[in-house]
């Protein structure tokens, strides 16, 4: 068996009023289409996946994301070219995102290039580009 990508992921946020406009603008910029939206929920589809954003339960509102706590570490979207990573960086700055690092090469795979930023809750979001088959090219042959 071989999976066919990631069907969807859901992010639970503490401040839905700040998160909904941030994510709707970002996900649309990334080519995703909002297909469900309410005052406490957003669901966008595109790029062979979907992203849902939902309000945290009342007892967790006001909390901030902690990257090394059990659960999600970060979300990484794959770009089609290096220039897209640069465009996302400029857009993230327009959104007021906290930039963790601007577009830069990384050691994760040959040609790895990424930008890393945070949403209003501090959830880390990455957009990367890896040319060719990335790490799979090294393992074949």
pLDDT digits (tens, 9 = 90+) for 37-69: 999 999 999 999 999 999 999 998 888 888 888
Over residues 84-95, the pLDDT tens digits come to: 999 999 999 999
Per-residue confidence (pLDDT) for residue 6, from 0 to 100: 87
C-alpha neighbours within 13 Å on the C-beta side of residue 95 = 25
Confidence class of residue 19 from pLDDT cuts 50, 70 and 90?
Answer: very high
CATH of domain 73-132: 3.10.180.10
Per-residue confidence (pLDDT) for residue 44, from 0 to 100: 97
Whether the CB-CB separation of 77 and 30 falls below 8 Å is answered with: yes
Per-residue confidence (pLDDT) for residue 103, from 0 to 100: 98
Instruction: Work out the mean pLDDT of the chain and round it to a whole number.
Output: 92
CATH fold, domain 7-57, is 2,3-Dihydroxybiphenyl 1,2-Dioxygenase; domain 1 (3.10.180)
Question: 131-134 — which CB contacts under 8 Å span 24+ positions?
Answer: 134/109, 134/110
The H or E element spanning position 20 is helix 16-29
Per-residue confidence (pLDDT) for residue 122, from 0 to 100: 94
Answer with the residue of higher pLDDT: 141 or 85.
85
Q: Is 73-132 the same fold as 7-57?
A: yes
Q: What pTM, to 2 d.p., does this model score?
A: 0.90
- Angle subtended by helix axes 16-29 and 82-95, to nearest 10: 150
Over residues 86-126, the pLDDT tens digits come to: 999 999 999 999 999 999 999 998 999 999 999 999 999 99
Which residue ranges make up each domain of the chain? 7-57, 73-132
Taking 60 as the threshold, does the pLDDT of residue 139 lie above it? no
- 50-70 burial by CB neighbour count: b if 16+ within 10 A, else e? bbbbbbbeeeeeeeebeeeee
Per-residue confidence (pLDDT) for residue 138, from 0 to 100: 57
């Amino acid at each position: 068996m071989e999976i066919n990508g990631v069907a969807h992921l859901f992010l639970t946020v503490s401040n839905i009023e700040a998160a909904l406009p941030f994510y709707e603008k970002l996900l649309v910029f990334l080519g995703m289409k909002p297909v469900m939206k309410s005052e406490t929920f957003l669901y966008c589809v595109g790029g062979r996946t979907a992203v849902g954003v939902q309000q945290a339960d009342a007892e967790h509102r006001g909390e901030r994301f902690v990257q090394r706590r059990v659960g999600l570490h970060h979300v990484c979207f794959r770009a089609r070219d290096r220039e897209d990573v640069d465009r996302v960086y400029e857009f993230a700055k327009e959104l007021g995102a906290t930039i963790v690092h601007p577009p830069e090469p990384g050691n994760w795979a040959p040609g790895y290039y990424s930008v890393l930023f945070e949403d209003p809750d501090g959830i880390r979001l990455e957009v990367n580009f890896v040319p060719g088959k990335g790490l799979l090219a090294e393992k074949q042959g």
